[in-house]
Amino acid sequence: MKLKSYQVLIFLIVLSCSHLRVEAVGVNWGTSSSHPLPPAKVVELLKANKISKVKLFDANPNVLEALSGTGISVTVGIPNSMLKSLSSSKKVAKSWVHNNLTRYFSDGAGKVKIEYIAVGDEPFLQSYGQQFQPFIIDAVINIQTALVGANLANNVKVVVPCNSDAYISVTGLPSKGHFRPDLNKTMIELLTFLSKHHSPFFVNIYPFSIFHQNKNISLAFALFEPKAHSLNDSHKAYKNLFDVSHDTLVTSLSQLGFPDMDIVVGQIGWPTDGAINSTSSTAETFMKGLMSHLHSSSGTPLRPKKPPTETYIFSLLDEDQRSIANGYFERHWGVFTFDGQAKYHMDLGQGTRNLVNAQNVEYLPARWCVVNNNKELVNVTSKALEACSVADCSALSVGSSCFNMSWPGNISYAFNSYYQQHDQRAESCGFGGLGLITTVNPSMGNCRYNVQIQTSNSFSPSWLPFFCWRFVLVFLFSVHLLCASQENMVEIL
């Protein structure tokens, strides 16, 4: 059969397009918040910003119901705390799949588009030691068996999110990368499983943390800035920290016999508060550089023209209940504030020039708890420390948005944080008579005194009688004084 010239042209265009890779960008949606934005509002936020993929850390039914019928691809997480029981019992795995997946695959428009099950949350993290590692492989196999039994194996892939500390390079060069020796046996088993089921390797890369842990890395190199000095490795030039970490993984995979395994970046971002160099402007520079790099499809030196198949931004929203064991910045990874307001300008690559804020958010009344300057303030610092032992005072840490605020403004910030977290109950602004409720917003400059979201899921220890809550706070405060992380806050207050 003879093809006409225009048919040949169309054929060549289609053929060339078939080799183009479409790199999907999604977000992580965490719910470690005292007053979480309602799931329906979050879904509206995802839609408004044309975000088509979301990664969860559990299988919260309210969240999954809100995602029903949206067409948004979902990664459902299994917490580390469940790994032991899942590894020891096929029945437990079967029950988990039935309770958390099967009902969302029913016929009709209301189903959830579940794409991956993430077994564990960075279970190989070096700081965990051997706490979760022995359970991973059996848990993964049992979940896969349960998917087969539920006829879902063709719809959902099983993955294990790994922190970038799972692989190392003593010299800092990607060509010398390898998995940690203590992980080799487990990693070979995991990679064999992933390869068999055509699943990608999920890796969480944090240029912010790598930069802060390595004095030899410049901020410009971490932020994708063109002026940064390149790192040369075997005639390959690395222009940013992300490519270095990514290709160190590529080498590590190759060493174990999996050179072509697809890579998904499960978490990457830049915090906006809680540490030095964690500002909205710095985060904007990083995110714009990352998006430009991903959508250029240039790939990395070891995988040219082959960037990660998917990348999930960490995170969608700030979370005031996240652990601060690694630093106060952990509560400020969000592209949006806790109430869904964009922190900076960027394009997620979904056709929107700027981020769209959450609309019609319902807040608690416009009132705040501050220091009563008409009282004797001898014990006010200890009261503020009591508040911070329970509430979120991460913005007061060194280099943060409220760090340079003068006394007693920082005390008022601590009081208000506790007051808002406890739903503005009058007794939560007591502090031995040192607290005062006001309708005048005490926010100053970049330091924002929050008014919390009105939500039925609020953190509210209503079971604790008013006459004893202070004693509990004093106990918690005493515990915190023993922790090194609290020393910084003591100096500030």
Q: Which of 96-110, 298-312, 325-339, 443-457 has the lowest mean pLDDT?
A: 96-110
pLDDT of residue 473: 36
Give bridge partners of residue 236 from the DSSP assignment. Answer: 233
Reply yes or no on whether the pLDDT at 404 is more than 70. yes
Rounded Cα distance between 175 and 225, Å, is 23
Cα–Cα distances in angstroms (integers) from residue 169 to residues 5, 72, 249, 251, in the given order: 53, 37, 10, 10
Average pLDDT over residues 484-493: 47
State which H helix or E strand residue 186 sits in: helix 184-196
DSSP 383-428: HHHHHHTTS--GGGSTTSTTTTPPTTHHHHHHHHHHHHHTTT-GGG
pLDDT of residue 164: 98
Rounded Cα distance between 28 and 285, Å, is 20
Give bridge partners of residue 453 from the DSSP assignment. Answer: 363
Higher pLDDT, 252 or 473: 252
Structure tokens at 384: 């503020």
pLDDT of residue 486: 43
Reply yes or no on whether the pLDDT at 399 is more than 80. yes
pLDDT of residue 110: 64
Per DSSP bridges, beta strands 53-56 and 73-78 are: parallel
Reply yes or no on whether the pLDDT at 459 is more than 60. no
Average pLDDT over residues 185-204: 98
Structure tokens at 411: 């005390």
Higher pLDDT, 76 or 6: 76
pLDDT digits (tens, 9 = 90+) for 267-279: 999 999 999 999 9
Rounded Cα distance between 473 and 386, Å, is 6
pLDDT of residue 351: 63
pLDDT digits (tens, 9 = 90+) for 113-158: 999 999 999 999 999 999 999 999 999 999 999 999 999 999 999 9
Which residue type sits at 124? F
DSSP 419-442: HHHTTT-GGGG-GGGTEEEESS--
Q: Which residue has the tokens 């009058």?
A: 426
pLDDT band at 354 (very low <50, low <70, confident <90, very high): confident
pLDDT digits (tens, 9 = 90+) for 291-308: 999 989 899 999 999 999
Reply yes or no on whether the pLDDT at 469 is more than 60. no
pLDDT of residue 348: 76
DSSP for residue 183: G
Rounded Cα distance between 333 and 326, Å, is 13
Catalytic residue (choose from 122, 310, 330, 386): 122
Structure tokens at 257: 């016999």
Reply yes or no on whether the pLDDT at 55 is more than 70. yes
Average pLDDT over residues 86-99: 97
Reply yes or no on whether the pLDDT at 467 is more than 70. no
Any idea what the Cα angle at residue 122 is, between residues 118 and 124, rounded to 5°? 120
pLDDT digits (tens, 9 = 90+) for 103-123: 898 655 569 999 999 999 999
CA 212, distance to chain mean position in Å, is 18
pLDDT of residue 108: 53
Indicate the average pLDDT of the chain. 88
Reply yes or no on whether the pLDDT at 475 is more than 90. no
pLDDT digits (tens, 9 = 90+) for 5-29: 444 343 333 333 333 344 699 999 9
CB 158 within 8 A of CB 144: yes
pLDDT digits (tens, 9 = 90+) for 230-248: 999 999 999 999 999 999 9
The helix/strand/coil state of 7 is: helix
- State yes or no: is 310 an active-site residue: no
DSSP for residue 334: -
Reply yes or no on whether the pLDDT at 485 is more than 80. no
In the chain, the percentage of residues whose pLDDT exceeds 70 is 86
CA 383, distance to chain mean position in Å, is 32
pLDDT of residue 413: 97
Give bridge partners of residue 369 from the DSSP assignment. Answer: 437
216, 221, 226, 229: CA torsion to nearest 10: 20
In the chain, the percentage of residues whose pLDDT exceeds 90 is 80
pLDDT of residue 311: 98
